[in-house]
């Protein structure tokens, strides 16, 4: 109930949860919740990144040899793909904000396509590691003075990129749900919170890769 007995214009919106007074309040709570979630994700990746940086200081030669085995071209293409997906995601959010249903669906589908492209390229990178027997704990055949150091590098490579790929798969599934909702006309200038929150998640996953690419692929490339 409101103090003056007047219903708020958003009070009867079908997507307004009962424990919020207005859609604006609900949007603010959702935004805060998403940012708190992303902070926990930063800490999640942070532990692996700190291990990576520590070992890189300790074993620079092994890190350089391990990095030179990665395909910088495929890694660079994937970087461009994810930057493009951030653009299409942002345009999808804008389309939802302005009530453009078909545009929202189109931009979200493009975002999904870029996500799948990234995963396909990453699959071929992983396949190459299996082909040359450089898979720690599964098929590791490496000799030389820095073999043990390379083992650590490749282990962290699989851990970091695998965890990132898992987040990408979750993001694609999320985009699929949002695309279906957009197709059904669920979003409008009055309510587009799920698309915006999905966009924040997607941008976070893209930003993680922006850090991973130079850390993994550009070690001592000179």
Q: 55, 156 in Cβ contact below 8 A?
A: yes
- Tell me the per-residue pLDDT of 11-25, one tens digit each, with 9 for 90 and over: 456 655 555 455 565
Rounded to whole angstroms, the Cα distance separating 66 from 221 reads 11
Burial class (CB in 10 A: 0-12, 13-18, 19+), 78: buried
Q: 156, 212 in Cβ contact below 8 A?
A: no
CA-CA distances (angstroms) from residue 6 to 16, 26, 57? 17, 19, 65
Rounded to whole angstroms, the Cα distance separating 183 from 206 reads 25
**CA proximity to 77, closest of 8, 131, 125:** 125
Rounded to whole angstroms, the Cα distance separating 141 from 146 reads 13
pLDDT band (50, 70, 90) for residue 9: very low
- Tell me the per-residue pLDDT of 205-222, one tens digit each, with 9 for 90 and over: 999 999 999 999 987 765
**DSSP letter string, 86-146:** HHHHHHHHHHHHTT-HHHHHHHHHHHHHHHHHHHHHHHHHHHHHHHTTEETTTEE---STT
* pLDDT value for 192: 83
The residue among 207 and 132 whose pLDDT is bigger is: 207
The residue among 167 and 142 whose pLDDT is bigger is: 167
191: helix, strand or coil:
strand
The residue among 112 and 61 whose pLDDT is bigger is: 112
* pLDDT value for 15: 54
């Amino acid at each position: 109930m409101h103090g003056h007995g007047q219903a708020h214009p958003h009070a009867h919106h079908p997507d307004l949860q009962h424990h919020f007074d207005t859609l604006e309040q609900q949007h603010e709570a959702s935004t805060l919740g998403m940012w708190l979630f992303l902070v926990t994700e930063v800490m999640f990746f942070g532990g692996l990144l700190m291990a990576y940086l520590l070992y890189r200081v300790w074993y620079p030669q092994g890190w350089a040899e391990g990095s030179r085995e990665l395909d910088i071209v495929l890694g660079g293409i994937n970087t461009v793909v994810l930057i493009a997906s951030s653009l299409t995601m942002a345009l999808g959010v804008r389309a939802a904000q302005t009530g453009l249903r078909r545009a929202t669906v189109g931009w979200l589908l493009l975002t999904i396509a870029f996500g799948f492209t990234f995963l396909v390229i990453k699959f071929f990178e992983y396949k190459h590691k299996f082909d040359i027997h450089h898979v720690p704990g599964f098929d590791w055949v490496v000799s030389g003075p820095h073999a043990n150091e390379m083992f650590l590098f490749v282990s962290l490579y699989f851990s970091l990129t695998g965890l990132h790929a898992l987040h990408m798969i979750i993001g694609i599934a999320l985009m699929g749900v949002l695309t279906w909702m957009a197709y059904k006309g669920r979003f409008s200038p009055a309510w587009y919170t799920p698309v915006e929150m999905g966009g924040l998640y997607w941008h976070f996953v893209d930003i993680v890769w922006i850090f991973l690419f130079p850390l993994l692929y550009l070690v001592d490339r000179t």
